[in-house]
Amino acid sequence: MHLPRPAATLAVALLAACGTSASAPAVTDAHKAVSFDEAAWKPLREADIPNDSMGASIRRGLYLLRYTRDSLPAYATSSLNCTSCHQDDGLKLTAAPLTGSHARFPKYMPRSGTVIALADRVNYCFTRSLAGNAIPVGSREMTDILAYLAFISKDVPIGTKIAGTEGILPMKDTLVGDVARGEALFTSKTCVTCHQADGQGAGPYPALWGPKSYSVGASMTRHERAASFIMHNMPQTAPGTLTAQEAFDLAAYINSHPRPDSPGKELDWPKGDAPADVPYDTPGHQAFRPPPVLPRANPGGGLVPNPPVIGHAKR
């Protein structure tokens, strides 16, 4: 006959396990920090995707990042794909890499003033960087994108910030960009060849301003962020050939043009800690060189609500 284990026996066993005798380890192996060799770590790539159901989800996620506007035209309404900025399938170190992102979330985001999950961070890029609409958090597409982000974060311990993989590299100096100089560089440095003189791009070349570009609420509208992206990644055929001043001039020129509005942006950085070059008013911050904004077709779709609190509702 099966008898329930007497409570006293269990208590004795627990006491023994928690004892401070020299022979008992303070923590079991399972609780020890996983050793992680940051320098040796390499993210998995497309060729490593397994041929099973999990692999199918990872592959769909990768293709959603690469072909966002063709795959999700109702949500990605600009000419950009996720990989327009997160280049090389999100793996390129100088282009806001997504490697390890799965291990960095949930995370406090100063812009929203709250701790957000990775799915919400993905939706911030859908609504702001792609100037599109948030995708349903419980959708297969979101799950697939998260599956890919987990895949390129494999073996990175939770909470680890791998050097150089968080965000666009900070610029060493904050220089002042000059719009007229930037306009001249836009032609002389061959940007026009791919992004066109009117900045609207064509085919695989994304728009840099106008209704099909990133919204005013995207990080790329900050001169420093754009300058770093441009200096390290553009022109695509000869990255690394621009000086920091040229990159700031180009950023100033590109970000002086009209672009889609970002609903709710006036509530950003609610704690008053907006970076100096944010181009719109936020609590305690005055817009830095604000561009003209274009109305959005579906302003509601461009919002990512903070996670709602459900525990305190009165019955």
Does residue 259 touch ligand HEC according to CB under 6 A? no
How far lies 92's CA from each of 168, 231, 249, 268, in Å?
10, 14, 24, 28
Place of tokens 């890499």: 97
Q: Per CB under 6 A, does 225 bind ligand HEC?
A: yes
Q: Which is nearer to ligand HEC, 25 or 100 (CB)?
A: 100
- 146 sits near ligand HEC (criterion: CB under 6 A): no
Give 237: exposed, middle or buried? Use CB within 10 Å, 0-12, 13-18, 19+.
exposed
Separation between Cα atoms, residue 153 and residue 53, nearest integer Å = 19
With contacts defined by CB under 6 A, name the span among 29-37, 51-59, 225-233, 294-302 that binds ligand HEC.
Answer: 225-233
Determine if 304 is a binding residue for ligand HEC (CB under 6 A).
Answer: no
The least distance separating ligand HEC from the CB of residue 191, rounded to whole angstroms, comes to 3
Candidate residues 129, 133, 262, 282; the one interacting with ligand HEC per rule CB under 6 A: 129
DSSP conformation class of 202: B
Residue 235 binding ligand HEC, by CB under 6 A: yes
278 touching ligand HEC, by CB under 6 A: no
Partners of 182 in the beta sheet?
Answer: none
- Which 3 state secondary structure label does DSSP give 116? strand
Spatial CB neighbours of 214, under 8 Å, sequence gap ≥ 6: 78, 80, 128, 129, 130, 131, 220, 221, 259, 260
Distances (CA, A) of 97 to 103, 168, 245, 260: 13, 8, 24, 25
d(CA 146, CA 213) in angstroms, rounded, equals: 24
**Residue 180 Cβ vs ligand HEC, minimum distance, rounded to whole Å:** 15
Residues that bind ligand HEC (rule: CB under 6 A) add up to a total of: 48
Out of 91, 119, 134, 145, point to the residue binding ligand HEC (CB under 6 A). Answer: 145
- In the bound state with ligand HEC, the residue whose beta carbon lies nearer, of 125 and 171, is 125
Please state, in angstroms and as integers, the Cα–Cα distance from residue 157 to each residue in 9, 32, 115, 284, following that order. 37, 12, 19, 37
Site mask for ligand HEC (CB under 6 A), range 172-211, x = bound: -----------------xxx-xxx--------xxxxx---
Among 119, 125, 216, 274, binds ligand HEC (CB under 6 A): 125
3-class secondary-structure state, position 267: helix
Residue 248 binds ligand HEC (CB under 6 A): no
| Interacting residues toward ligand HEC by CB under 6 A | 65, 68, 80, 82-87, 96, 98, 101, 104, 121-122, 125-126, 129-130, 145, 166-168, 189-191, 193-195, 204-208, 213-214, 218-220, 225-226, 229-230, 234-237, 250
